[in-house]
Every structure is written in C-alpha cells, then in structure tokens.
Amino acid sequence: MKDLKYMIEFENLLQDADNDLVKQAQKDGQKAIGYTCYHMPEVLMNVDNCFSVRLRAPRSTSIDISTYYMSNYTCEFARSLLERGIEGGYQFLDGIAGVDACSAMNRCYEHMEVLKINDKENFFVTHCDIPYKIEDYTVEAMTTQMRLRLLDVLTEKYGADTSDESLLKAVEEHNKMCRVMTEIGNYRKEENPPITGYEYHLLCLVSYCCPTSLILPKLEETLEEIKNRKPDPKPWYRTRVVLAGSEVDDLDLTKLIEEAGAFVVADRYCYGSKPGREEIVIDKDKDILTQIVEHYMRTSECARYMSEEKITQRRETVDKLAKDYNADGIIYEQMKFCDFWAFERPLASHILQEEYDWPVLSIDRPYNVRSSGQLRTRFQAFVEALEIKRIRSGKGGNA
C-alpha cells in the first residue's frame, strides 16, 4: 500500500513528549496539562486555554535514578516517567493531573512533586482519588473531586473558563476526534483493510499526545486518504488478533506482533481507542460535569474496578471486540510488576480460553519491548497455532 501522507510526521511527533504541535499550542498561549490515566477525563483538560498531553517516555534507556526512589518492583512505565521528569523532560508542562489509581503511579506523581521536576511559577501536581466500583455516591464523589482538584485549579492558576458552555465546547471537539478515530478503526474489520494495526496505533497515540485542535485536521485528512487508499491485492497478514491488557504506548510492540504475521485488528488497552475514543453523550438538561465523569467511569476497563460487574464487563468487551473485528485469537498483555493487571491478566486469559473458547496468548512484557527475541518467538508460535487451528476447521488461510 502507498504510505500515508503524515506517517513520518506522526512518528516524529511521538519521539518527544514536547513535540512540535505542543510547542505551537504553547506559543499561542495555551497551557499543557500532562496526565497518564483514563480515570482523569481527557476532555476536562481541554477546556478554554488548556490542552491535554498524555505522558510517555519515548526512547527510554536507563531508569536507574527512578529505581533508586521507587525500587525494582514497581512498573517500568511509572519509573520511566519519573526518570524522564528528573532528566528535565517535562519542563514544558504547565501542570500534571494525576489520579491515585495505583501505588506505582501515585508514587511517581508524588516524587515529581517533591523533587520539583518543573520550575514554572504556576506549575502544579494535583491528585484525585479513584473508587473501586461505580455507585451513585462514588460518581458524586468523583464529580466533586474533578471540580475542586482539577477545574478549579485550572481557573485559579491559568484563568481557564470551566463553565458548562466551555465543557460542552470541549465535549463537541472531543466527539469530532472520536468519530474520526472510530471511522478509521472500523476499516480494520475488512478482510483486506486499507490500514495496518501499526498505523492505527500511531494515529491513536498522536491523538492523545498532541493538542486536539491541531492534530484533528491532520487526522481528518488521513481519514479521507484511507477512504481512497487501495490495499494490496492479497491481504498481507496470516491471522487476526485483538491486543488487550494494560498500558501500551510502545509502537514497537504492535510492530513486533505484525512482523510475526498477526494483524492487530482491535486494541483494548490503556492508551488505546477502546476505551478512549467513544463519543460522550450529553443531556443539556442534566449536570454536564456529572455526565462527563460518569461516562469515563462506566466506559473504563481498568482492572482497578474490582466489582463483579466490572470484571465481567472487561471479559465481555474483549469477547465482543474479537467477534466484531473477526479475530482469530487474543493476545492478553501486562506490563511487568503492574499491580492490578498482574491479577487480571492470568484469570481473564484463562476464562476467555476456557469459557469463551478463544485462543489466547498471555504475556508479561517490559515497558519498551524493542526487538525482543523472546516475544518475537512467542508471537510467531501463536500465529502458527492459529493457522493450524484455522486449517483444521476448514477455513483455510491468507498465507
């Protein structure tokens, strides 16, 4: 297939947290608010003169300094972010909106605050508590926290307009982004799609890491390009998989899977599109902020939510995605030392295989996989197993 117009530009935007579009927005007087977790509603950081930047630590190597503060047994994602902060990589931020969702990220935020990783006069680090289940009182508590610990702080520090009208405007822009990303993602359902899983992962990440107002026109143009893109006569992949689990902002993981012959047709992981790129439905006769908060709580697939209905929701979501996107199997991943997914992944992998009858490859992985020979071998073996199953079932294959 012909390369997408913005492919190289998008890859370059992900080389640094402080990318060119972030710099452009700040030059125009906007304030960059960093965050990591879906529990912190992205749309609330995109009000008025503020914009969200989902934090990553691209091209991470040594994390020795952050390990000194956080120990070897905390997830590499949290340690990589702290290392990057200590190195000065987040000096561009105007604030960090954190959530007390897991102990590792909580410690990361606290160290960023205590070690003063940013010396801007109005820089802030704010924390919000996250519940373990969804009830009327937890939605109310989350709404109160988002008003007091985020929106009021944005107004106090940077004069941001956080009125209902401003929130609605942010939701409208967010929904435009979601419609574009959903339409692009739906092409992955086709037998011979005009987009790869790697390309979609790239588009999804830039949508999180760049100001919406600046990246959206480029994504809209990319959608039109994909509509008219002619795929190769024969599908390039050997099998189709859903990639599910914990945080993935490493493009090399998707690349490694697809180099083994498995087309990543759907993404159910943190920093992916499900959840994250669903439209927010607003009833203007009800409290706007409460509806936004409840949307994020109900669509969240985070393993922190431990109620029975949420555990079931996570399994059924992966099952539905695999069916909707015509997957042959599921790769269930977890970053090493991740507290919540270390419990979720083994059990969910077992149940999806035994009760939902899906072939599942269950892995734990480092933050940056690079060209891991061990993972490559496991992906190749899984692809071969899926091909053998398809041949035995009489469905044939693409190879």
pLDDT digits (tens, 9 = 90+) for 343-379: 999 999 999 999 999 999 999 999 999 878 899 999 9
pLDDT digits (tens, 9 = 90+) for 220-261: 999 999 999 999 999 999 999 999 999 999 999 999 999 999
- pLDDT > 50? residue 118: yes
Q: How confident is the model at residue 395 (pLDDT cuts 50, 70, 90)?
A: low
pLDDT digits (tens, 9 = 90+) for 157-182: 999 999 999 999 999 999 999 999 99
Residue 176 lies in a domain: no
Least confident of 1-5, 38-42, 51-55, 294-298: 1-5
Residue 366 lies in a domain: no
Which CATH number fits the domain that encloses residue 147? 3.40.50.11890
Report the alpha-carbon distance of residue 44 to residue 162 in Å, rounded: 8
Query: Which is nearest to 235 in space by CA: 388, 397, 384, 385?
Result: 397
Report the alpha-carbon distance of residue 2 to residue 178 in Å, rounded: 25
pLDDT of the residue at 59: 87
Q: How confident is the model at residue 399 (pLDDT cuts 50, 70, 90)?
A: very low
- pLDDT > 60? residue 397: no
- pLDDT > 90? residue 398: no
Least confident of 213-217, 334-338, 353-357: 334-338
To the nearest whole percent, how much of the chain has pLDDT over 70?
Answer: 99
* φ, ψ for residue 262, nearest 5 deg: -105, 120
pLDDT of the residue at 322: 98
Partners of 97 in beta bridges: 126
Q: How confident is the model at residue 396 (pLDDT cuts 50, 70, 90)?
A: low
Domain span at residue 40?
Answer: 19-160
Residue 294 lies in a domain: no
Average pLDDT, the chain: 95
116-119's contacts with Cβ under 8 Å and 24+ in sequence apart are 117/85, 117/86, 117/88, 117/90, 117/91, 118/85, 118/90, 118/91, 118/93, 119/91
pLDDT of the residue at 54: 98
- pLDDT > 70? residue 327: yes
Query: Which is nearest to 164 in space by CA: 282, 30, 297?
Result: 282
- pLDDT > 80? residue 314: yes
Q: What is the mean pLDDT of residues 371-397?
A: 87
Q: What is the mean pLDDT of residues 13-30?
A: 97
pLDDT of the residue at 371: 74
- In order of 184, 356, 358, the CA distances from 159 in angstroms are 36, 51, 51
Residue 141 lies in a domain: yes
Q: How many domains does the chain have?
A: 1
pLDDT digits (tens, 9 = 90+) for 64-105: 999 999 989 899 999 999 999 999 999 999 999 999 888 899
**Position 386, amino acid:** L
Q: How confident is the model at residue 339 (pLDDT cuts 50, 70, 90)?
A: confident
- pLDDT > 80? residue 127: yes
Q: Are 181 and 204 in contact, with CB atoms under 8 Å apart?
A: yes
- pLDDT > 90? residue 391: no
Residue 46 lies in a domain: yes
Residue 275 lies in a domain: no
Report the alpha-carbon distance of residue 201 to residue 343 in Å, rounded: 26
Q: What is the mean pLDDT of residues 20-39?
A: 97
